[in-house]
Amino acid sequence: MKINRKLCAIALGSTILIFIFLVLISTLASAAQVTRIGNGSDPAIYGNKVVWTNSGVIQVYDLTAGTVTTVTSSAASYPAIYGNTLVWHDESSRTPRLAVYDISTAAKTYITQNVDQSSRPAIYGNRIVWSADYNESNYNYNVYMRDISTSKQTKIADGNSPDIYNSRITYGYEGTDGRTIAVYDINTKETINVHSSSQIFSPHIYGNKVIWSNFYSRDGFIEMYDLITKKTIDVTSDNTGNTLYGPDIIVDAGDDTGTHININGDKIVYSKSGDDQFGYAGVYVYDIPSAKSTPVYIYPKETYTTPDVYENTIVWGIDSNYGGGTANDSDNNGIYLSDLYYINTLLPAAEFTANVTSGTAPLVVLFTASGIDGVSASWLWDFGDGITSKNEMKATHTFTKPGTYNVTLKVTSAAGNISIDKTGYIKVTNSTTPETGVPVANFSSNVSEGYAPLEVQFNDYSQNATSRAWDFNSDGNADSSDPNPVYVYETPGTYSVNLTIYNANGFSYLINTITVLENNSSDDSNSNSDGNSKSGGSKSSGSGGGGGGSPEPAKNIEVKELSQVFITNGKEVKFDFTKNATCVVSVNFDAKKTLGKTTTIVEMLKGKSSLVSELPSGEVYKSFNVWVGNGGIATSKNIEKPTVCFKVEKSWMEDKKIDPASITLNSYREKKWEQLEVEPSGKDDKFLYFTAKTPEFSSFAITGTAKKASDETVTEPQPETETGAVNNNYINQNETGNEGTEAEQKITSTPGFEIGLGIACILSVFLYKRK
């Protein structure tokens, strides 16, 4: 009877854990820009494809098409992918083997030689590596490599858990000094020992970086070795390993289900089991250049994930051991995907401010949070007087009693918990007469959004004001001192309205926002005569040039980058994209009107834009969209001389044999492609830079034409000399041979120098012959 009660308690506890887990997933998924793409475990990603297993069946998800394809299999595990080639551990024949599958042809072959139950494949190019054949004499497996193009198979070394990148293989092996991480060079046949310790596991390699998990004297942390500098650093601190705790056992990192780490480019992904500085388990990413870890997605404590990364996309699965789940438990075995764009651009440091921090009771204070955007899940304000407020980035609170109050804002986010505490932030004194009281700014407007021309009635509800100044159009100048003024906005844009009030004790201010939309004449029937929408809702412009939000499906966007500037009439405007996330360096134009603070978004696409009917002729390098502001502000009425500055990789031109002089930017207008006027504007070791004049901002495609067979050499286009400053601006963001650094270069030339030199050479030959 006691046993039955115990079993019932375990079952009930597991059920409750699963319920809480599912609720948290449902709550956090919408906030973290996370997509569940299927059920299963052990996902891997390369290019636009994600592969995983579900009950022994291989699933392939196409990121571009958003579709899942099933590959015929019945006992598959530990899949890996490179290009169109899949490889996995397979026991459908009841004998361990490795399956090799070509996605494009659906051809499947098997590797049976030197494969056992411990074989976990890794692939790069045509080479597959794995370990098998345990040797009790030296406590090691054997590391094997097979070239699937030639079917040649070779033993590389004694060791296990190999990984491969290009011509290098990393693995771990048991030695006299404990465990050692080693790297083998396929071309030189040389092996170097990277690091030794008693408990180091799961090596991975990308480029010149080797990473592994170290469990010696700690709960688990990640180390990284640079093959160039010969230095080892700690990537993370304690408790970052993903040690699994079963009902009665601890599975350490020596098991393949232990620590889950991976590396691609300059990003390392890993899993935490909880009790970290954020207090949550989850998926994390470490940025090598900045040496900073960021949570990607948070789960309850002791939830175990298996992340992998390719460029800006992270995928992960939930381990089946969570909550007592089984391998067939679809609720616990979800496969999830997140775009690092949302982590990189939407998670700045949190902060909050108050429009006034002191005054007499009753004191009305407007608190405004900043630095946090769409990833936020919930908000909790604690005003220090026993009253709290939930789920608002802005909170108005009245302090009714004199005193000094501590204010705290706690943000629960898919990227972690953030708490901001301000001690003694609000000081409230006894009531005095209005003439001697502390000023408290407050105002309202009859509308906050509408179509130009937009007439807005403002009303001052401030306390203790003896004078005031209104700034309606974000230019820093006082426009009115009236208590209840009316202002007409003629130009579309987003305006910050600032009311500042004064008295003998000081000043106070409050800022609110007015959004003015462009009134499309074809839709006049939907608006009142004052430009306000009858329905009260917002209305998209419908004009070209990216007014408003992006209509591009999220699944077709490889990466986004944002830039924000204040647009002033008569000024040159330049949106710089300094993160180098896309092929666009900057977007430029001259402003014909003051539009206020404006955001421009560049979307680099995975394939053809859904907004175009076909791709332009030529070899396509990249497709991208440019969206400037909202409400269709990027029109000829508001801007002039628009240009796009972009860059093209030299390696792509070399691989495709592209003539640099043929590089063109194509703009999609009126359902057809138009080639734009392009001028070279610089170069560095990796890129050529170009500037294109464009009639509008829309969907673009960069193309080039392959060199003719008769062309022996083609000289790279030289940057224009009359715009040397422009050249300098576009070179300072590009990489050198050293990681984590930026180099500023200046390219200069003398006009006509090459022509003059050629004429001088011809003249010399002519004179020589005359002698």
So what's the pLDDT on residue 489? 87
Mean pLDDT, residues 604-633: 86
Backbone angles phi, psi at 353, to 5 degrees: -135, 165
Length of the chain: 771
Residue 663 near residue 648 (C-beta atoms within 8 A): yes
So what's the pLDDT on residue 526? 35
DSSP-derived pairing of the beta strands 57-62 and 49-54: antiparallel
Which has the higher per-residue pLDDT, 727 or 596? 596
Residue 365 near residue 355 (C-beta atoms within 8 A): yes
The token duo for 327 is 């391998």
Residue 329 clears pLDDT 60, i.e. is over it: no
So what's the pLDDT on residue 170? 97
Does 485 sit behind a cis peptide bond, omega within 30 degrees of 0 on the bond before it?
Answer: no
So what's the pLDDT on residue 586? 94
Residue 437 near residue 361 (C-beta atoms within 8 A): no
So what's the pLDDT on residue 78? 92
So what's the pLDDT on residue 391? 64
Mean pLDDT, residues 354-371: 84
> Could you count the other beta carbons within 10 Å of the beta carbon of residue 689?
25
> Could you count the other beta carbons within 10 Å of the beta carbon of residue 517?
27
Mean pLDDT, residues 359-374: 77
Q: How confident is the model at residue 395 (pLDDT cuts 50, 70, 90)?
A: confident
- Rounded-to-integer distance, Cα 465 and Cα 482, Å: 12
Spatial CB neighbours of 220, under 8 Å, sequence gap ≥ 6: 213, 214, 238, 239, 240, 241, 242, 243, 253, 259
* Amino acid at site 690: F
Element containing residue 521 per DSSP (H, E): none
Spatial CB neighbours of 703, under 8 Å, sequence gap ≥ 6: 616, 617, 618, 619, 620, 621, 663, 664, 666
- Rounded-to-integer distance, Cα 408 and Cα 417, Å: 13
Spatial CB neighbours of 36, under 8 Å, sequence gap ≥ 6: 29, 334, 335, 336, 337
Residue 518 burial (10 A CB sphere; 0-12, 13-18, 19+): buried
pLDDT over 70 for what percent of the chain? 71
Residue 246 burial (10 A CB sphere; 0-12, 13-18, 19+): exposed
Q: Which of 276, 363, 281, 264 is nearest to 321 (CA)?
A: 281
Mean pLDDT, residues 377-389: 84
Mean pLDDT, residues 550-557: 78
Mean pLDDT, residues 574-598: 87
So what's the pLDDT on residue 251? 28
Q: What Cα–Cα distance (Å) separates residue 743 from each residue in 570, 724, 733, 749?
A: 33, 17, 7, 20
Residue 325 near residue 346 (C-beta atoms within 8 A): no
Backbone angles phi, psi at 728, to 5 degrees: -65, -35
Residue 477 burial (10 A CB sphere; 0-12, 13-18, 19+): exposed
So what's the pLDDT on residue 121? 96
Q: Which of 476, 480, 469 is nearest to 507 (CA)?
A: 469
Q: Which of 704, 706, 676 is nearest to 688 (CA)?
A: 704
What does the pLDDT look like over 166-200, one tens digit per residue? 999 999 998 876 889 999 999 999 999 999 888 88
Question: 262-275: string of b/e by CB count within 10 Å (b at 16+)?
Answer: bbbeebbbbbbbbe
Q: Which of 230, 231, 343 is nearest to 293 (CA)?
A: 343
Q: Pinpoint the alpha helices (H) of 239-359.
A: 340-345
Kindly report the pTM of this predicted structure.
0.45
Q: What Cα–Cα distance (Å) separates residue 330 from each residue in 36, 316, 440?
A: 12, 14, 56
So what's the pLDDT on residue 349? 52
Mean pLDDT, residues 564-589: 88
Residue 277 clears pLDDT 60, i.e. is over it: no
Residue 548 clears pLDDT 50, i.e. is over it: no
What does the pLDDT look like over 11-62, one tens digit per residue? 555 444 444 444 444 333 333 467 888 888 889 999 999 999 988 899 999 9
Weakest mean pLDDT among 91-105, 260-274, 581-595, 638-652: 260-274
Residue 597 burial (10 A CB sphere; 0-12, 13-18, 19+): middle
Residue with tokens 């834009």: 609
Q: Which of 694, 675, 680 is nearest to 730 (CA)?
A: 680
Render 296-307 in DSSP notation, one character per residue.
EEEE-TT--B--
Which sign does the torsion angle of CA 705, 708, 709, 711 carry? negative
Spatial CB neighbours of 63, under 8 Å, sequence gap ≥ 6: 48, 49, 50, 313, 337, 555, 606
Average pLDDT over all residues of the chain: 75
Q: What Cα–Cα distance (Å) separates residue 171 from each residue in 100, 122, 699?
A: 22, 11, 46
Q: How far is CA 67 from the centre of its chain?
A: 22
Residue 85 near residue 123 (C-beta atoms within 8 A): yes
Mean pLDDT, residues 617-623: 93
Rounded-to-5 percentages of helix, strand, coil across the chain: 10, 50, 40
- Rounded-to-integer distance, Cα 498 and Cα 443, Å: 10
What does the pLDDT look like over 73-83, one tens digit per residue? 888 999 999 99
- Rounded-to-integer distance, Cα 531 and Cα 521, Å: 11
Mean pLDDT, residues 427-454: 75
Q: How confident is the model at residue 638 (pLDDT cuts 50, 70, 90)?
A: confident
Mean pLDDT, residues 738-746: 35
